[in-house]
Structure 1
């Protein structure tokens, strides 16, 4: 008698039950280190931080429940919170556009078929590997010091340079300039996006008489807009999390002109030992970055174009 469709389905189901557990166990074994890290280093600390944000905790005594008092104080009575938000906003606005523009410019230069182009690409990527380190921050502090390399170079032309890091009008922009210098990773992503644009688009537009500038604005920018959007999101998030440069170069000074939000959070946690208060600051930062990211996603439908036609 011929085997019915139902019998075949039942046999396949039984076979799947016998084979699947072996693969499930192997997959679980390989995922175990990642799961341990996710729970122990991400989810666990986040839950603890959320709880501590509602407490008074000085690292030496047990946390004491405080309800919403930390959040209330931050939003209504903490002038340094407002200052750090303003400084961070200026930092993001002054560094992110220039970083993206410079990274795109370098990516366009490196998107050429010339001999040894791989060496040039590696050389331009190196700053992103070292830019966030303590050593580079110390070097930057020395370069822009009152007797640093920048002022010595200006002195050759008879210009008396400012004490860049000691002047509240310039200190934050010096740190922003270091962020622009760390364009390597952004440049690599732009370069990958440029290499995905078909050459036929440029050839067809050239036949129609389009100039290089027209090709850039009519082909390159629209085709690259998803990559620009991705880099913009990552740069904004990174800007609000920036800490090392401000901590090493100026430590928030002069006159709190470089008091970035992450640096203020660190000071509250490990200088003033107000861990509960710092946890509340961290969650407010998360909410703020989430809102900004959502706004960028909302506005993306007006300027981000996908080849499939979806926006």
Structure 2
């Protein structure tokens, strides 16, 4: 019987490939991905390379955190064995006027200083984003303070500038302003520290500048054709397109502001004065732990700070869904 030329060809199965033990298989015959298999010696080598980080995390982070969590429920003075007291340290916190004052000072620093710092960083980044001569030099100049940061040397220089009869006081006197030294004035000591924090805006400025470079110029050209002014373009194009970068900077700067310590310690001489105006949370924690030797109380303060920062971070992530816009997001 003759065979038709239109007969369907029967596919011939390809010869099976022999896999060596430990070879990774990307997908199953049905197209479903399979779990990759690794040779035991590769797994051991991976853990060997990770071992420095694992040891550092366990010894320098995980164990101290667990130890401080235990000490937060004890009465411990660094010299005798800890004595379990339960929630007593946490109850004493909210009955301590100096603790409440330190929380208030830190809250003012965080919620006032952080927006000012980010506003200054964004303003300078937008100026540096314009095309002009010496652009690289200007970027280096504005970024330089962030390389130094709130170090001890800068805090000492800042203190000398703002003491009574310092350079700032002399400039004020030249304009007929009699304030005296900011360091010894309770009304000006905290604004001075906020100004010191704002002065180091170089790091968020660089991140803002990188975000501005990613905004398509076609958007601004189209807005100009529609007659949009600088303000309209800023609020309709720049801020929405820059919102992921703004959220990133806001998150990092807020967490960092809660941890300010060295500048307040140096400028106030470790006392938090004058009149407790520079008694930051971390400074009071240090004084209770290493000056009063109430390490259990200090550990409780540390864990309250962890919880507060975690809650604020969670709140920021939850609220970011309404104002942070990512490229390709269909919401």
Tell me, yes or no, whether TM beats 0.5.
yes
Deviations 1:139-195 (A, max 9, x none): 111111111111111222232233211111111111011000010111111111111
What pairs up with 1:232-271 in 2 under 5 angstroms?
Answer: 232-250=250-268, 251=270, 252-271=272-291
- Residue deviations 1:98-154, cap 9 Å, x none? 100000011111113334322221221110111210000011111111111111112
Mapped pair 1:66 → 2:85:
yes
Within 5 A, what are the aligned runs for 1:118-197?
A: 118-197=136-215
Which residue of the partner structure matches residue 19 of structure 2?
Answer: 11
Cα gap change, 1:49/1:208 in structure 2, threshold over 3 Å: closer, same or farther? same
Rg comparison, structure with higher value: 2
Provide Cα deviations, 1:67-96, integer angstroms capped at 9, x if missing partner: 111112113x21111111111111112211
| CA-to-aligned-CA distance 1:242-272 (integer Å, 9 cap, x gap) | 1111111113101111111010100011101
Give a deviation string over 1:26-54, Cα, whole Å, max 9, x none: 32222222212211111111111111111
Displacement, 1:211?
A: 1.7
Aligned equivalents of 1:19 and 1:82: distance in 2? 55
Q: Distance in 2 between matches of 1:116 and 1:62?
A: 62
TM-score of the pair, normalised by structure 1 = 0.92
- The answer for the alignment partner of 2:313 in structure 1 is 293
Report the Cα distance in structure 2 between the residues aligned to 1:19 and 1:299, rounded to whole angstroms. Answer: 42
Q: Determine the structure 1 residue equivalent to 2:65.
A: 46
| Partner of residue 217, structure 2 | 199
Q: In structure 2, how many angstroms separate the alpha carbons of the residues matched to 1:170 and 1:283?
A: 30
Q: Following superposition, which runs of at least 4 residues in structure 1 exceed 6 angstroms of deviation?
A: none
Deviating more after overlay: 13-22 vs 162-171: 13-22
Within-5 A mapping of 1:101-112 = 101-112=119-130
Bigger shift: residues 201-210 or 190-199: 201-210
Higher helix share: 1
What corresponds to 2:237 in structure 1?
219
Q: List runs of 5+ in structure 2 lacking aligned partners.
A: 1-11, 25-35
More contact order relative to length (CA 8 Å, sep ≥ 6)? 1
Q: Trace 1:75-114 onto structure 2 (pairs within 5 A).
A: 75=94, 77-114=95-132
Alpha-carbon spacing, 1:23–1:109, altered in 2? closer, same or farther (3 Å): farther
Compared with structure 1, are the counterparts of its residues 249 and 190 closer, same or farther at alpha carbon in structure 2 (3 Å cutoff)? same
Q: Post-superposition shift, 1:14?
A: 4.2
8 Å contact from structure 2 (residues 166, 181) kept in 1: no
TM-score normalised by the chain length of structure 2? 0.87
The change in CA–CA distance for 1:227 and 1:14 in structure 2 (over 3 A counts) is closer
| Paired position in structure 2 for 1:27 | 46
- In the TM superposition, residue 18 of structure 1 has moved relative to its aligned partner by 8.3
Greater Cα shift, 184-193 or 295-304: 295-304
